[in-house]
Amino acid sequence: MIYGILSTIAFIMILPFWLVAGIFNPKLVAGFREKCGFYKQAKSGMENEKWIKREKGKGKRGKEYPPSKSKILVPPQGRDNFSTFRLFDYSTSSHFSPLTSHSEKPTLVFYGVSVGEVIAIENLIKKTRENFPDINIILLTGTKTGQEIAHKKLGEVCNFISYFPFDFPFCIENMLKNLNPTAVFVAETELWPNFARIMNKKNIPLFIINGRISDRTYKSYKKLSFFFGPILKKYTNIYTQSRQDNDKLISIGANPETTTVMGNLKFDIKKPDVSNLMFKKNPPDKIILAGSTHSGEDEIILEVFKELKKDIPNLKLIIAPRHPERNESVFNLVKNRGIECIKRSEILNAPHPKPSPSRGEGANSPALLPSCLLLDTMGELGKFYSVCDVAFIGGSFNQTGGHNPLEATIFNKPVVSGSSIHNFKDIYAILTSSDAGKIVKTKEELTQHLRKLLTDEKFYQKASKDCENVFEENKGALDFVLKVLQTLV
């Protein structure tokens, strides 16, 4: 109670300075109204029947989730100016109607603070919609980038997407009044004292899922366990990624009877179907796949490739730029480096003889290709990880923050990345605890580690086995949470 009063006074005092600062840094006030707990109310009811009809119409094709058509996915030019910024705008999903506070259907609220957390619960939310098509699903985030990825990946799945409230009592009360949640699920370990206290007081179930705590954070929380311990006890249940995370939170003050290991949601993914890939690897070849590369990284990987090929003549490279508009410039870059290259689209569109299985041939066999293949087709990168020997994950030699390495490791392919991996730092922490993954800081380190993977068969086999073990040790988290949901809806 004292904390709530003091935090409210502090909010009132800093608010004018905050708004002024927002003029120069609009990110500070992104979604300000929603963070105060004011959400746009719908005049119509829920339209979950759209989901049901769409699912029935798919037949055996499986579930697909196209990007949301939400108008706030990519803010218009000029929106970063305070005068036109969305300070008092609302966020809504495009597929379902926003919520009314009087909905009789169960309403589950999921909170992922930013990009990494939203990605972590993406499959959980999709599975929740499949298993419980008639409930209301709300996804809240804490950042503008979190909003963008939420609308892109889950805009067609959630009833409502917006911002999580500030941890001030009146903001939380507004949020609860407007959204009327049946239960709230917080991804990973976001501790908000006022939110936990008010949820507990109102007897609304509050869960931490996929909970984790870094060594650095643990040391700080442990010193302040007199403060954080009581907060942790107000959560209905805390479900952690590992035994280590579990023990840390209990030592801070979490209730051991309600704190349980669930595994890691990020590892509960399925291998893409590669039966129609139309590509067969020639057994003697070694293939490096450089996936989701950004400007500046293509040059690095090409230099590394040329250096390695001196000692590994059967080495081939598949390079997949992150942004399609860069395909042509990367293609020209490869040719200018004296590396023979062909585009994947050209192969698919060109007539070619029917392959002979008796000779071990497959459509578009690498044996018939030049040293480098530019993957310029859409939707094939995840499948192509199945044919490589080792993967370099792009967006890691600049400030992008990396991309998902699990797309490769699910095929038991070891991954190598640069040091900018903050969007997936928890995944890399697990992968690099074994030889499944490696973080390098320089081009020279990248060359050295790739050489070891490609020439040391014993080391490579261990690294591949480590990839398999990582998934085995972390599986089951999705089913775990779905069973919890069944008790609520």
Residues 264, 395 share a domain: no
Q: Would you call 117 a catalytic residue per the annotation?
A: yes
pLDDT in tens, 348-385: 887 755 544 433 344 444 444 689 999 999 889 999 99
Higher pLDDT, 354 or 400: 400
Q: At which residue do the structure tokens 């926003």 appear? A: 98
pLDDT in tens, 30-81: 778 888 888 875 333 344 444 444 444 444 334 444 444 333 333 333 333 3
In a shared domain, residues 174 and 311 = no
Q: Does some domain include residue 12?
A: no
Mean pLDDT, rounded, for 285-304: 97
Rg (CA), the chain: 25
At residue 134 the predicted structure's pLDDT band, cuts being 50, 70 and 90, is: very high
Domain that holds residue 384: 286-347+362-473
**Residues 374 and 227 occupy one common structural domain:** no
For the segment 376-390, what is each residue's pLDDT rounded down to a tens digit?
998 899 999 999 999
Residue 482 and residue 440 share a domain: no
> Residue 18: its pLDDT value, please?
58
What's the order of all strands across the beta sheet hosting 415-417?
A: 341-343, 372-374, 315-321, 286-293, 390-393, 415-417, 437-439
Is 13 inside a domain boundary?
no
Distance CA 462, CA 466 (A): 6
Task: Tell me: do 191 and 262 sit in the same domain.
Answer: yes
What is the pLDDT at residue 145? 87
Mark whether 229 and 305 lie in a shared domain: no
What are the residues whose beta carbons fall under 8 Å from the beta carbon of 183, sequence distance 6 or more? 108, 109, 204, 205, 206, 207, 236, 488
The per-residue pLDDT for 41 is 52
86 or 190, greater pLDDT = 190
Name which of 292, 454, 276 is nearest 446 in CA terms: 454
Structure tokens at 38: 């004011």
pLDDT band at 116 (very low <50, low <70, confident <90, very high): confident
Model confidence at 489, in pLDDT bands (50, 70, 90)?
confident
The CATH number linked to 203 is 3.40.50.11720
Q: Count the domains in the chain.
A: 2
Looking at residue 372, its pLDDT comes to: 96
What's residue 265's pLDDT?
Answer: 93
Residue 305 has pLDDT above 70, yes or no: yes
Indicate if the pLDDT at residue 218 is higher than 90: yes
The predicted pLDDT at position 7 comes to: 66
Please tell me whether residues 251 and 326 are part of one structural domain. no
Shared domain for 208 and 237, answered yes or no, is yes
Tell me the angle at which helices 225-232 and 243-252 cross, rounded to the nearest 10 degrees: 110
| C-beta separation of 44 from 97 below 8 A | yes
Lowest-confidence segment of 7-21, 58-72, 212-226, 299-313 by average pLDDT: 58-72
Which CATH number covers residue 295? 3.40.50.2000
Query: Is 74 found in the same domain as 93?
Result: yes
Residue 115: inside a domain:
yes
pTM over 0.75: no
Structure tokens at 171: 């903001």
Please report how many Cα atoms fall inside a 13 Å half-sphere around the Cα of residue 483, on the Cβ side.
7
The pLDDT mean for the chain works out to 83
Marked catalytic residue, from 34, 47, 49, 117: 117
For 441-471, the pLDDT digits (tens) are 999 999 999 999 999 999 999 999 999 999 9
Backbone angles phi, psi at 23, to 5 degrees: -65, -40
Q: Are residues 209 and 309 in the same domain?
A: no
Say if 24 falls within a structural domain: no
Same-domain check for residues 116 and 225:
yes
Average pLDDT over residues 386-404: 94
Contact 236, 206 (CB under 8 A): yes
What mean pLDDT comes out for the span 246-273?
Answer: 94
Whether residue 255 is contained in a domain is answered as yes
3 has pLDDT over 60: yes
Residues in the chain: 489
Q: What is the pLDDT of residue 210?
A: 95
Instruction: Kindly give the interhelix angle for 225-232 and 193-201, rounded to the nearest 10 degrees.
Output: 40
Same domain for 305 and 174: no
Tokens read off for 316 = 């081939």
Instruction: Classify residue 465: in a domain, yes or no.
Output: yes
CA-CA distance, 172 to 202, in Å (whole number)? 12
Q: Per the domain annotation, does 144 fall within a domain?
A: yes
**Is 307 within a domain?**
yes
Q: Quick one: what percent of the chain has pLDDT higher than 70?
A: 78
Non-local CB neighbours of 80 within 8 Å, separated by 6+ positions: 26
Looking at residue 474, its pLDDT comes to 86
* CA distance readout (Å), 93 to 157, 163, 223, 313: 8, 12, 41, 52
